[in-house]
Structure formats: C-alpha cells, structure tokens
Amino acid sequence: NKVLTVDGVKVKLQIWDTAGQERFRSVTHAYYRDAHALLLLYDVTNKASFDNIQAWLTEIHEYAQQDVVLMLLGNKVDSAQDRVVKREDGEKLAKEYGVPFMETSAKSGLNVELAFTAIAKELKHRSMKLPNEPKFKLHDYVKKEVRGSGCCRF
C-alpha cells in the first residue's frame, strides 16, 4: 500500500505486482474488475516484455472497468547499454492506445514517484468529477418530510 497526499486529499494506492508473468494471468482477471488504475511496465532491455504489452492491453480492455486509469512505463532505463526498446517505440504504443507514457528506473528511482503521483492525481480528479454519492440521500429527504408534517402525528 502507498498513501499519497494530492492537493490535501489522501489517496491510498493498493499495489499488486504480477511482474507480467504468465502464471498470474488467471489471477489478475479478478483484480482488473475492481482496479481503478493499472500501470503497465515493460523492460526496455527485453523486447519480449514490450511485445507482451499489447496482450495485456487486450485483457485489460476485456476485464477492467471501462474508465480504468492506465499508464505505460518503460522500466530499466538505467541500463542504457542493454537497451533494445527505444523510447520512441514506447511513445508510439502509448499514443496508439491513448495512454500516458513515461520511462522509469526502479533501481535509481527515476520517475517512479512521479508515475504514482500522476496516477493518484488522476484518480483524485476523477473522484471529484464523478462523485460516488448521490446528490441527495433519500433518508435525509424522508426525515425532513416527517418533521415538516405535524398534522398527522399520533
């Protein structure tokens, strides 16, 4: 769990790391349904992990909430000498799917906090824009009606 404060509001992130492993695919379907945000990471030193992103995006489209917040991250940019996936390839894929993109390094911490903060800000923004509570509560309305009608009480 990670709690971030965004504009004075605490946003709690519950983080599940499946490492993109095939053995987690059936488990992750259950998490997709309730997830508000998903960070898709690929390893810039591993072309197969990048190629796998499209399969993950297909599954997310199938199982996740329609308004899930997505972000694509190219990780391990600290290993420049071993890089096989260009930044432009990540940007192109992100643009194709209409999701934000950034490169990170879990090892050095580059952009890691920024990625979580961006997700938290978007979640907070959406929660303020689309409140979960109705505009009025029925029990409040009923209480007022009972209080206001003094003629028929026994």
- In this structure, which long-range contacts are made by residues 100-103, counting pairs with CB atoms below 8 Å and at least 24 apart in sequence? 100/70, 100/71, 100/72, 101/71, 101/72, 101/73, 101/74, 102/71, 102/73, 102/74, 103/44, 103/73, 103/74, 103/75, 103/77
Range of the domain at 19: 2-148
Model pLDDT for residues 124-148, shown as the tens digit of each residue? 888 877 555 554 444 444 444 344 4
Reported confidence tier of residue 149, pLDDT bands at 50, 70, 90: very low
Q: Does a structural domain hold residue 153? A: no
Q: Does a structural domain hold residue 134? A: yes
pLDDT: which is higher, 19 or 150: 19
Task: Output the domain CATH number for residue 46.
Answer: 3.40.50.300
Q: Does a structural domain hold residue 141? A: yes
Among candidates 15, 95, 82, which has minimal Cα distance to 49?
A: 82
Residue entry with tokens 């190219």 = 74
Q: Does a structural domain hold residue 40? A: yes
Global pTM value: 0.77
Model pLDDT for residues 54-96, shown as the tens digit of each residue? 988 988 888 899 889 999 999 999 999 999 999 999 999 999 9
Domain count of the fold of the chain: 1
